[in-house]
Amino acid sequence: MNWLQIAQERKEELLSELQQLIQIESVLDENNATPDMPFGQGPLDALHFMLNKGESAGMRVKNIDHMAGHIEMGEGQELLGILCHVDVVPVGDGWTYPPFEGRIVDGKLFGRGAIDDKGPTIAAWLAMKMVKDSGIKLDKRVRMIIGTDEESGFRCVNRYFEKEEMPTIGFAPDADFPLINAEKGIAHLIFSQKNKAAADETLLSFTAGKRINMVPDSAEAKLVSVSEDGATNFQRFLQENETEGSLTKAQDHYIIAIKGKSAHAMEPEKGVNAAVLLAQFLTTELTGNGLTFVQFIADVFGKDHFGTALTLNYRDEMSGETTLNPGIIKFDANGGTIEVSMRYAVTYSFEEKITAAQQVLAQADFTLDVASDSAPHYIPEEDELVQTLVAVYQKYTNDFSQVLSTGGGTYARVLNKGVAFGMLFPGEADVAHQKDEFVDVENLITAAAIYAEAIVKLASK
């Protein structure tokens, strides 16, 4: 079968369906959630859209508690899963084109969700239809599983797999080509200061960050007083660190604010953590528990992203470094806390390493607790699933890049045996979650061809 040619012939259908899906504003709306609409109207509409398409194409569809659903074709004992999501992150500012339109300019289709994950979803959906229409006989059932809460905690697929069958093998078109076979563990750590703030504390408050999976791009502290050279030192500090900030006097206190640069917690080195900068500056301004707090941040997070000071550092060949992102930092009259998103290597001894860090902290003014932990996910490169998918990818691209690892989490990790497979091609800019998110139209067609051949290869033996 010449899948590329068939996909090319069905380009209008592909683009029109993607535009329709992008036009559904499927952002989580917790305020209007009901049992019949657990993530709000948009995510539910997007799920219905896909299930209606499946039904019209003569496939079996099922809605699981309005959180997730599936479209299934073929017969057989075993099941191939294709895991996609149709929810999107909020729009943000600064778009050149309307984020919920799907406008095509110079071979690019713009819109929120274009690459994450509506474009890949529609490419995989076209692939299913192409395989069905080809009449090729499959020995496995093929099921597209559609989630509506991927961006905020996986409640959709968690519920889905409480009730539905686990695929024998599967892939998630929600990341990069050639393929991601290693996903780091993701833990939420909380460091809490043991001593509460004293009554005569210079530091009144310290706040930075709203979500642990982002590098905070601003931080602010309120101080009772600043030193004589405080203002001059602060200006020099800003210059040395090539950033902006302000020191202002309010009625009975001073406010020191500093800017950093946002990035995803899985790549903290790509950002500049404003909280860490502010803490570093304040080590020369404070005393008491406030000083202990900022000194801890400077010592543990100011020197590297690997947690070396607490012996949490560890890297391995298949997944790289373990990284720590202090994402929510707070200090007030009740004391100080630092919430961290940790992305740890596949072969990390999690319990042992946490216990060791707790022992390092025994003499310090901080405790360490694990608020949540999602284990790493790894399928060996030699595995037939990986080999088959990589071979299909190479056939259509002539690209022999290595398979990849990620500090992010995809739906692959909820599968017993699954990997992330496309559809961002090597060298392409990753515009997921950013303004002017787009997908390249030619790449959509290539991806649809790759997915079609992958379905046939994986489901017919």
The residues of the shown chain that bind Zn ion, judged by CB under 5 A, are 116-117, 174
For 420, the 3-state DSSP assignment is strand
The residue type at 317: E
- In this complex, which beta carbon is closest to Zn ion, that of residue 72 or of residue 117? 117
Q: 110: phi > 0 → left, psi -120 to 50 → alpha, else beta; which?
A: beta
How far, in Å, CA of 217 to CA of 210, rounded?
10
Query: What's the min distance (Å) between Cβ of 69 and Zn ion?
Result: 17
For 187, the 3-state DSSP assignment is strand
Query: What's the min distance (Å) between Cβ of 174 and Zn ion?
Result: 4
Catalytic residues: 87, 150
Polymer length in residues for the chain = 461
Nearest to 329 by CA among 192, 223, 196: 192
How far, in Å, CA of 293 to CA of 193, rounded?
7
Calculate the CA 91 to chain-centre distance. 16
Query: What's the min distance (Å) between Cβ of 316 and Zn ion?
Result: 25
Lookup: tokens for 372: 């949540």
- In this complex, which beta carbon is closest to Zn ion, that of residue 117 or of residue 285? 117
Q: Are 326 and 336 in contact (CB under 8 A)?
A: no
Q: Are 425 and 398 in contact (CB under 8 A)?
A: no
End-to-end CA distance of the chain: 17
- In this complex, which beta carbon is closest to Zn ion, that of residue 289 or of residue 341? 341
Query: What's the min distance (Å) between Cβ of 440 and Zn ion?
Result: 17
Query: What's the min distance (Å) between Cβ of 35 and Zn ion?
Result: 25
How far, in Å, CA of 19 to CA of 100, rounded?
8
Calculate the CA 403 to chain-centre distance. 19
Q: Are 174 and 89 in contact (CB under 8 A)?
A: no
Q: Are 181 and 385 in contact (CB under 8 A)?
A: no
- In this complex, which beta carbon is closest to Zn ion, that of residue 66 or of residue 112? 112
- In this complex, which beta carbon is closest to Zn ion, that of residue 313 or of residue 406? 406
Nearest to 419 by CA among 162, 167, 193, 158: 167
- In this complex, which beta carbon is closest to Zn ion, that of residue 324 or of residue 404? 404
Query: What's the min distance (Å) between Cβ of 176 and Zn ion?
Result: 11
